């Protein structure tokens, strides 16, 4: 997938920007606070309809303005043109794809695959289990409709059950019969979620291992394993049993504590738990390898490379490693990079790069 044209109207610090891209590696340079990340954000919103910065479209509206409008023209691998337009005014979002109105955002997901790597995402390797589940859930929701609807149903059940548990706790009641109905559903959807996640990991980890070894020059071997309180050989029956055994505890806590919404991924580097023993550099490299694997995985499933957005990555990565990253991305993957150091662009195929300078919401070719 390639972005050929981007239009921003009252988006963040942009007035009216109309810019075309004819290269696969696009670099936005400039000082801090000029609007580099805003550009990456706009591109991600075109593909995902959500911002990595906020859930509130109001924040994306230029200060003091009444509306914003953004649009993108993409081409897929078969040279089909894809056009997406998003406008926002009076608290209303209007999204059209190929000039047809999108009523449900999830119906659109996957049409314009985007993978981004932004500094905030360091929490995927350093943060709590929730961050790693989000990584998997977001990726799979994008490319697997069934996963998305399973997850939606599952989350709904958990929410409803939590409400009941909360009420029971408040009333000091241990009348647990009514949560059996919810537990049946948790077993049903939860074990399918587990199966899909494990199946995904099998394919994903292959890419991941190769990529980590490659970019670390053979220094680091990595692995990813699924971690759960349930016995993974008999997940479904064990889930059922643990739900039943822990019923009173859940009521006591007023919270649903058993199920795949508590599962985690364990990241190992050279045989040690990254979270416990990894250096800062290892965390960073692991994260980059996760994202590059995401790109490869999406391509393996959908036969289309996503557009890759890299925000301020290169500040902490040494030249040898970033050259390796460039080598992977040179493989027909359109990559947008924001950086204050445009020197890193030299590592990419020079016939395929373009550098823009960003100054206070204006973008100019260098």
**Could you list the residues that contact ligand ADP (CB under 6 A)?**
12-13, 30, 32-38, 59, 61-63, 338, 358
**Nearest-CA neighbor of 88 among 47, 40, 50?**
50
* SS3 of residue 119 by DSSP: helix
User: Measured from the CB atom, is 62 or 242 closer to ligand ADP?
Assistant: 62
User: Measured from the CB atom, is 37 or 44 closer to ligand ADP?
Assistant: 37
35 binding partner (options Mg ion, ligand ADP, none; Cβ < 5 to 8 Å by kind): ligand ADP
User: Measured from the CB atom, is 186 or 345 closer to ligand ADP?
Assistant: 345
| Contact stretch for Mg ion (CB under 5 A) within 36-44, 110-118, 135-143, 235-243 | 36-44
2 binding partner (options Mg ion, ligand ADP, none; Cβ < 5 to 8 Å by kind): none
Region of residue 262 (phi > 0: left; psi between -120 and 50: alpha; otherwise: beta): alpha
Region of residue 263 (phi > 0: left; psi between -120 and 50: alpha; otherwise: beta): beta
Q: Where are any strands of DSSP class E within the chain?
A: 2-9, 16-20, 25-29, 67-75, 81-89, 92-97, 100-101, 114-117, 222-227, 264-269, 272-273, 307-311, 335-339, 353-359, 362-365
Cα gap 354→22, rounded to integer Å: 8
34 makes contact with Mg ion (CB under 5 A): no
User: Measured from the CB atom, is 36 or 197 closer to Mg ion?
Assistant: 36
Pick the binder of Mg ion from 10, 29, 37, 335 (CB under 5 A).
37
Cβ contact 108:85 at 8 Å: no
Q: How far is the CB of 29 from Mg ion (least distance, A)?
A: 11
| Contact stretch for Mg ion (CB under 5 A) within 18-26, 34-42, 95-103, 235-243 | 34-42
Cα gap 115→48, rounded to integer Å: 10
Q: How far is the CB of 313 from ligand ADP (least distance, A)?
A: 13
Residue number of the CB closest to Mg ion reads 37
335 binding partner (options Mg ion, ligand ADP, none; Cβ < 5 to 8 Å by kind): none
Q: How far is the CB of 34 from ligand ADP (least distance, A)?
A: 4
Task: Return the C-alpha torsion angle 117, 123, 129, 133, nearest 10.
Answer: -20
Using the structure block, give the residue that is written with the tokens 């692991």: 286
13 binding partner (options Mg ion, ligand ADP, none; Cβ < 5 to 8 Å by kind): ligand ADP
User: Measured from the CB atom, is 307 or 337 closer to Mg ion?
Assistant: 337
Q: How far is the CB of 317 from ligand ADP (least distance, A)?
A: 18
Region of residue 53 (phi > 0: left; psi between -120 and 50: alpha; otherwise: beta): alpha
Q: How far is the CB of 97 from ligand ADP (least distance, A)?
A: 24
Q: How far is the CB of 312 from ligand ADP (least distance, A)?
A: 7
Cβ contact 271:287 at 8 Å: no
Q: How far is the CB of 119 from ligand ADP (least distance, A)?
A: 10
140 binding partner (options Mg ion, ligand ADP, none; Cβ < 5 to 8 Å by kind): none
Cα gap 49→42, rounded to integer Å: 9
Beta-carbon count within 10 A of 24 CB: 23
**Nearest-CA neighbor of 311 among 26, 70, 95?**
26
Positions that interact with Mg ion (CB under 5 A): 36-37
């Amino acid at each position: 997938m390639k972005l050929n044209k981007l239009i921003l109207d009252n988006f963040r610090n942009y007035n009216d920007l109309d810019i075309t891209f004819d290269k696969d590696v696009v670099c936005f340079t400039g000082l801090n606070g000029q609007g580099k990340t805003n550009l990456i954000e706009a591109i991600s919103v075109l593909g995902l309809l959500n911002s990595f910065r906020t859930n509130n479209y109001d924040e994306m509206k230029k200060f003091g303005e009444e509306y914003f409008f953004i649009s993108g023209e993409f081409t897929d691998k078969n040279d089909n043109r894809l056009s997406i337009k998003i406008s926002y005014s009076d608290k209303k979002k209007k999204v059209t794809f190929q000039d047809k109105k999108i009523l449900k955002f999830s119906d659109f997901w996957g049409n314009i695959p985007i993978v981004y790597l932004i500094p905030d995402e360091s929490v995927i390797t350093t943060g709590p289990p929730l961050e790693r589940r989000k990584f998997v859930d977001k990726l799979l929701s994008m490319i697997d409709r069934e996963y998305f609807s399973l997850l939606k149903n599952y989350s709904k059940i958990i929410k409803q059950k939590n409400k009941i548990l909360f009420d029971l706790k408040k009333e000091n009641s241990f009348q647990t019969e009514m949560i059996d109905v919810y537990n049946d559903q948790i077993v049903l959807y939860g074990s399918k979620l587990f199966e899909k996640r494990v199946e995904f990991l099998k394919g994903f980890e292959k890419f991941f291992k190769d990529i980590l070894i490659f970019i670390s020059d053979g220094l680091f071997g990595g692995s990813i394993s699924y971690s759960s309180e349930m016995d993974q050989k008999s997940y479904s029956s064990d889930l059922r049993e643990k739900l039943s055994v822990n019923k009173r505890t859940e009521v006591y806590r007023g919270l649903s504590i058993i199920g795949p919404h508590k599962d985690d991924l364990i990241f190992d580097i050279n045989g040690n738990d990254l979270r416990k023993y990894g250096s800062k550099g290892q965390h960073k490299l692991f994260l980059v390898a996760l994202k590059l694997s995401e790109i490869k995985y999406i391509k393996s499933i959908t036969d289309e490379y996503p557009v890759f957005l890299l925000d301020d990555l290169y500040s902490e990565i040494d030249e040898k490693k970033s050259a390796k990253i460039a080598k992977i991305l040179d493989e027909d993957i359109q990559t947008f990079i924001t950086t204050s150091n445009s020197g890193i662009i030299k590592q990419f195929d020079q016939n395929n790069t373009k550098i823009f300078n960003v100054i206070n919401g204006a973008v100019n070719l260098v």
